[in-house]
Amino acid sequence: MNMTELPTLHERFPPHFVWGVATSSFQIEGAPEQDGKGLSIWDQFCRVPGAIADASNGDVACAHYSRWQEDLDLIASLGVDAYRFSIAWPRVRPGGSGAWNEKGLDFYERLVDGMLARGVKPYVTLNHWDLPLELQATGGWANRDTVPLFVEYARKVATRLGDRVPSITTHNEPWVMSVLGHESGVFAPGLKNRAMAMQVAHHLLLSHGLSLQALRADGCQADLGIVLNLSPMSAATDSAADQAKKVLEDGRLVRWYMDPLFKSAYPEDVLAYLGQDAPQVQAGDMQAIATPLDFLGINYYTRSVVSADDSWKSSQSGLPLTDMGWEIYPEGLTELLLRVHQDYELPVIFVTENGGAFPDVLDNGQVHDAARTEYIAKHIEAIAQAMDQGVPLGGYMVWSLLDNFEWASGYEKRFGIVHVDFASQQRTPKDSALWYQDYLRCVHAHRASLAQATTGA
Ligand code: GCO
């Protein structure tokens, strides 16, 4: 696809709309013990036999810890406004409590200053899943004592960076850390205990709300928010059982997070379903969780289809699938945005992740990933449609800048718009990166012409 197929797409967005790319610390940095860094629960999980599809780990990943300047040059060359990255908590405080690691803090300070020097806005995420391993020994996110430690960490980072970054996200995808980490156990820390999973979700939300309060009390000027992975939910059939499952799963994925954040209460139907497994909530928790947000981040990849007997397979839908086996369904993003806008009183929304894994082939210094380009362009169009219908949207970030460590899939699934040869660490922009660069050139030209029109020059 080239821009001539969607020639006016960029004109549907206001000039202040933020365009970006995203990564996360564990997936790209490597250097798990360099310069005083502590290990995270993902370092440990990677050592569990069978946990990672290709038996790999994050020891090297994209070697971003040493190649960060080259990576920032690459980011700047795309023409993006913003780079969404995460800070590794165990890099700045190796044990999660106790001493701070100045070298770790310095690294992120250099990274942020490097972005600013290149005209790229730093969008910081504090927790993209790499909890300090030492904290897991005392229960990790299942232990309420982790909550004030996260708040201390948030305050420390904000003290160092808060004057220079426009945006701070507390947590990325609490559902993943809770359910995949503690209920199905397919992600770190690999536990299988539903009651614990729900307690983890509660502690994540609580630490989010308390961090917002603390950062604001400290005078932090950055916009503060949280990032959720949301999908529209549909039932495989019209049967009463499938329809009931759809309501429950929507409750567990969407309402379990949106209701406390925006209505200060957990959904009654999910609480009833959980019974004994419902989390322990103390007086004042729900008010803290509902601390007003400056923005809501939504990560969208695909829709969810459920059936009561869990027999439904995405290959049945007839929709094209990504290399993850996820349906390509851009309409779902419009549907989702309209739905949350209707059901909740929301601040500005950022689509903080969207992209696809495809079986790329590096051929003579090029990767012809037309399917990824089409995926991205169609989802940008889906956002424009939601905006046309009144949803307040502030930005869009492609997942991901680089091919990287795709969690339990290891390095087998490539999400980057830039190809990484993991043996040589060579970066090669794929056709999708070149398309995005071209698209962003149009964005900048359009902004310039609007600015000229208003100044009458
Ligand atoms: C996510 C994660 C990313 C994944 C991506 C693709 O937020 O789920 O942020 O780390 O790599 O979603 O699965």
Over the stretch 94-131, which tens digit does the pLDDT of each residue have? Answer: 999 999 999 999 999 999 999 999 999 999 999 999 99
pLDDT at 454: 85
Give the single-character DSSP code of 234: E
- Distance (Å, whole) CA 352 – CA 178: 20
For the entire predicted model, the pTM comes to: 0.97
pLDDT at 455: 82
CA distances from 194 to 83, 275, 276, 312 (A): 35, 11, 10, 23
Sign, Cα dihedral of 143, 146, 148, 151: negative
**Contacts of 47 by beta carbon, 8 Å cutoff, 6+ apart:** 57
Mean pLDDT is lowest, of 113-117, 309-313, 403-407, 418-422, for 309-313
pLDDT tens by residue, 20-30: 999 999 999 99
Q: Give the chain's domain count.
A: 1
Q: Is 377 helix (H, G, I), strand (E, B) or coil?
A: helix
In this structure, are residues 211 and 169 in contact, taking their beta carbons and an 8 Å threshold? Answer: no
Q: Mutate which of 21, 24, 358, 417 to test ligand 1's pocket (most atoms within 8 Å of Cβ)?
A: 24
Report the pLDDT averaged over residues 426-435: 98
pLDDT at 5: 63
- Distance (Å, whole) CA 109 – CA 8: 38
Size (the chain), residues:
457
Q: Note the Cα 349 to chain centre separation in Å.
A: 13
| Tokens of residue 324, six digits | 């993850």
- Cα(454) to centroid(ligand 1), Å: 40
Residue positions annotated with a catalytic role: 173, 353
- Distance (Å, whole) CA 358 – CA 379: 16
**Long-range pairs of 251-254 with CB within 8 A, sequence gap ≥ 24:** 252/175, 252/179, 253/175, 253/229, 253/304, 254/230, 254/340
pLDDT tens by residue, 219-250: 999 999 999 999 999 999 999 999 999 999 99
Atom of ligand 1 nearest to the CA of 404: 11
Instruction: Look at residue 2 and tell me whether its pLDDT is greater than 70.
Output: no
The residue whose C-alpha atom lies closest to atom 11 belonging to ligand 1 is 406
Q: Please report which confidence band the pLDDT of residue 3 belongs to, taking 50, 70 and 90 as the band edges.
A: low
Say which residue the tokens 């309402």 belong to. 255
pLDDT at 457: 54
Query: What CATH number is associated with residue 446?
Result: 3.20.20.80
pLDDT tens by residue, 319-330: 999 999 999 999
The residue whose C-alpha atom lies closest to atom 13 belonging to ligand 1 is 406
The residue whose C-alpha atom lies closest to atom 10 belonging to ligand 1 is 24
Lining ligand 1 with CB less than 6 A are: 24, 27, 172-173, 176, 229, 299, 353, 399, 406, 415
Give the single-character DSSP code of 235: E
One-letter amino acid at 279 equals P
In this structure, are residues 327 and 303 in contact, taking their beta carbons and an 8 Å threshold? Answer: yes
- Distance (Å, whole) CA 72 – CA 366: 21
Q: Note the Cα 46 to chain centre separation in Å.
A: 20
- Distance (Å, whole) CA 112 – CA 158: 12
What range defines the domain where residue 34 resides? 3-455
